[in-house]
């Protein structure tokens, strides 16, 4: 396990100005020598990105958006934020293809366009992939993941600015995580798929779905995992710190 693992905090549609204050604890923690190489990224709701960027300015913590519009240029797209606006607000990362965004209409094709626009604006992309429970039951996991990878990465050149997050949909917010042996195999399979598709050696693949300070000891047994995408457990500073502490020993 390396100490430059990613810890992506996905705050979804949670958080307020007060909760930004609680992250001061995490900022302080991130400056401890032992944890300085941990790649902590906060992805708050759009409206908090700017404040987050300001508060984390003198630290290694980076900020990301949770989605973006595919258009590079400004335009009449009510309710949307593109990668350029994210960048202007201080974001360096963007989560794309999250199952909650897929559920509200993001197709692989749309995600592909979003990836291209984010990369053009020099944002690092956290591309989420993963199967639903029914797909898992029908033993379609690898087929689904492969089609997500192939279609989301269509005409996207091999690129170190894309980080992958394996997020089985049945794990998100349910408290259920995959058996570690199965997860190990799945992450290896994904790394191999990316190698075949893109000839990219050692792609960064994270795991996301109900990661907590209670199950992190189990999850970190997967020594070649590159980090975690953390939803619920990232909202409380102490829980988030605990996860990082337990991972980087």
| 73: phi then psi, degrees, rounded to nearest 5 | -90, 155
Nearer to ligand PGA, 8 or 84 (CB): 8
Does 172 help bind ligand PGA (rule: CB under 6 A)?
Answer: yes
- Given CA atoms 64, 69, 70, 72 in this order, what sign does their dihedral have? negative
Nearer to ligand PGA, 119 or 128 (CB): 128
Tell which one of 65, 130, 209, 227 touches ligand PGA (CB under 6 A).
209
Residues 212-241 binding ligand PGA (CB under 6 A) are 229-233
CA dist., res. 30 & res. 61, Å (int): 7
- Reference 67, options 115, 8, 19; nearest CA is 115
User: Do the Cβ atoms of 208 and 227 come closer than 8 Å?
Assistant: no
- Given CA atoms 208, 140, 158, 182 in this order, what sign does their dihedral have? positive
Q: Does the active-site annotation cover 98?
A: yes
User: Do the Cβ atoms of 68 and 36 come closer than 8 Å?
Assistant: no
CB neighbours (10 Å) of residue 135? Answer: 18
Tell which one of 66, 83, 112, 210 touches ligand PGA (CB under 6 A).
210
Nearer to ligand PGA, 56 or 213 (CB): 213
Binding mask 138-167 for ligand PGA (x = CB under 6 A): -----------------------------x
CA dist., res. 149 & res. 33, Å (int): 36
Tokens 């508060």 correspond to: 55
User: Do the Cβ atoms of 52 and 41 come closer than 8 Å?
Assistant: no
Q: Does the active-site annotation cover 135?
A: no
What's the closest the beta carbon of residue 124 comes to ligand PGA, in angstroms? 16
Tell which one of 32, 109, 173, 218 touches ligand PGA (CB under 6 A).
173
Residue nearest ligand PGA, CB atom distance: 231
Binding footprint of ligand PGA, residue count (CB under 6 A): 13
**Catalytic (active-site) positions:** 98, 167
**Chain residues that interact with ligand PGA, rule: CB under 6 A:** 10, 167, 172-173, 208-211, 229-233
């Amino acid at each position: 396990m390396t100490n430059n693992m990613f810890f992506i905090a996905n705050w979804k549609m949670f958080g307020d100005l007060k909760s930004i204050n609680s992250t001061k604890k995490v900022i302080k923690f991130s400056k401890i020598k032992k944890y300085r190489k941990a790649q902590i990224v906060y992805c708050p709701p759009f409206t908090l990105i700017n404040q987050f960027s300001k508060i984390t300015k003198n630290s290694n913590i980076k900020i990301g958006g949770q989605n973006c519009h595919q258009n590079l240029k400004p335009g009449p797209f009510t309710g949307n934020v593109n990668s350029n606006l994210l960048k202007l607000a201080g974001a360096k990362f963007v989560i794309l293809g999250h199952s909650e965004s897929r559920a509200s209409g993001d197709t692989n094709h749309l995600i592909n366009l979003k990836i291209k626009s984010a990369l053009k604006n020099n944002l690092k992309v956290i591309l989420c992939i993963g199967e639903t429970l029914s797909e898992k039951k029908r033993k379609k996991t690898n087929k689904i993941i492969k089609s997500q990878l192939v279609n989301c990465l269509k005409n996207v050149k091999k690129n170190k600015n894309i980080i992958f997050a394996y997020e089985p949909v049945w794990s998100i917010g349910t408290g259920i995580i995959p058996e570690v042996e199965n997860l190990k195999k799945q992450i290896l399979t994904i790394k191999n798929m990316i190698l075949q598709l893109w000839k990219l050696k050692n792609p960064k693949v994270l795991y996301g779905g109900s990661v907590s300070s209670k199950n992190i000891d189990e999850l970190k047994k997967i020594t070649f995992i590159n980090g975690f995408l953390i939803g619920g457990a990232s909202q409380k500073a102490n829980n988030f710190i605990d996860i990082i502490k337990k991972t980087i020993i």
